[in-house]
Amino acid sequence: MSHEKLAWVFANFTDEELLAYNENRTYGACQNRPRLKEIAQFCVDTWSGDLVEIGALHGGTTVILAEIARTVGRRVIVVDPFDVGISAYADYYNMFLKNTEPWRDTIDLIKLSSMDAKAIAIVGGRGLCFAYIDGLHTYAACFSDIKTVGHCNGIIAVDDIHTEHKFSSAILRAYLDGAALLNRIPIDNLLVREGYLVKV
């Protein structure tokens, strides 16, 4: 069933991505959040467990996930340190707090690196129906994040596997290696920046 849902999502959003790319070169990002919303809703409707987001930045996707989670009494676990030595991250944290304020009762914020043993243990101890990985864009971090959410009942989404950025090759490699490790099928589309790992 996951495969059919993903095929439907790709079919319904690919034309918009191609048009957006031809107009302003937003490679695979134009319909990123609408796709994630469809997939997260499908996962909530299909499996038990909470939703997890690794890497939140200013909370735009967090709000979408929290809206879905609240309707069914689930939680959104957000993992982001917001303090990696870059001054802009203090601004991102303040933006995150402001943007997610109305959904604070639905969000569990883990303000740690996703590779921190405490963060891994917390996420690993929670039942999950959907996971979205958009954390530190290195092979090691992405592969670690995939392993951390490997127990997810539903679909694991990994962002930025298909972009024009230099880091995409490392993320794509982690995504494919994670699929092999977890015995999941990688489903993606070159016109879409994220990929999905589904159970066999």
Closest CA to 20 of 38, 6, 33: 33
pLDDT in the model for residue 52: 98
**Least confidently predicted of 22-26, 44-48, 55-59, 86-90:** 22-26
pLDDT in the model for residue 103: 96
Q: How far apart are CA 8 and CA 125, in angstroms?
A: 32
pLDDT over 60 at 99, yes or no: yes
Q: What is the pLDDT of residues 2-43, one digit of tens each?
A: 667 666 666 666 666 555 555 555 555 666 788 899 899 999
- Structure tokens that stand for 78 in this block: 């957000």
Q: Percent of the chain having pLDDT more than 90? A: 62
pLDDT band with cut points at 50, 70 and 90 for residue 61: very high
Q: What is the mean pLDDT of residues 86-111?
A: 87
pLDDT in the model for residue 38: 87
Domain containing 100 equals 2-199
Q: What is the DSSP letter of 153?
A: S
CATH number at residue 70: 3.40.50.150
pLDDT over 90 at 180, yes or no: yes
pLDDT over 80 at 154, yes or no: yes
Dihedral pair phi/psi, residue 193, rounded to 5°: -75, -25
pLDDT in the model for residue 29: 62
pLDDT in the model for residue 25: 53
pLDDT in the model for residue 82: 87
pLDDT in the model for residue 153: 96
pLDDT in the model for residue 33: 82
Q: What is the DSSP letter of 133?
A: E
36 membership: H or E segment, kind and range: helix 32-46
Domain count, the chain: 1
